[in-house]
Amino acid sequence: MEKNLPYEEIRRRFAESKDFNEIFDAVEEAIRQRIEDIELYRLLFWNNSLSAEAIAMFGEKIASEFPSIAYDIYMWLASVFEVVYSKFDNYEGALKFYKKASSVRPQEIDPYLDAVDCYDPDLNIPPAELLIEFLLEGLKHVRTPKPIYQRLCALHRAIGNEEMARYYEQKMKEI
């Protein structure tokens, strides 16, 4: 591994390199230098030469090394998987990283709502049941439950459970 790569070289490799080993060395060097710059890592996550597995591996490593930016890392990984890899994994990767973001900051509402925004009712992907379970977990932590009740209502309606849809409509009115 090359030592003491300048920041600009790490940045260049994240943005432009097509060589996995070169990128890997840059990630290791960024961690060694304790660089906690989410903007820098966004370049890495959008590098289209990397596989989904490589992006996930790098993201997990960076998040574990820098807990202060782990939430942002997971949210970015989710958005990358939502946009780039959804056609291959039916949003499983995006949902996985939204769940990881919510585990870092369970009170933040965005991971819950963004996960539901991935839902395709015609194909039921990600599965509505998984999204409902995730939203119910979010209800335990968020400060403003109304948006989650709205999503629960819509999901239940999409899967034909009118009784539960009405239940969550009622819950919205009680707030």
Report the Cα 18 to chain-centroid distance in Å: 24
Q: Quickly state the pLDDT bin for 21 (edges 50, 70, 90).
A: very high
Look up the pTM and report it: 0.91
Q: Quickly state the pLDDT bin for 108 (edges 50, 70, 90).
A: very high
Q: Average pLDDT over the chain, rounded to whole?
A: 94
- C-alpha atoms less than 13 angstroms from C-alpha of 51 in its C-beta half-sphere: 4
Average pLDDT over residues 19-39: 97
Whether the CB-CB separation of 73 and 41 falls below 8 Å is answered with yes
Q: Quickly state the pLDDT bin for 2 (edges 50, 70, 90).
A: low
pLDDT over threshold 90, residue 124: no
The per-residue pLDDT for 73 is 98
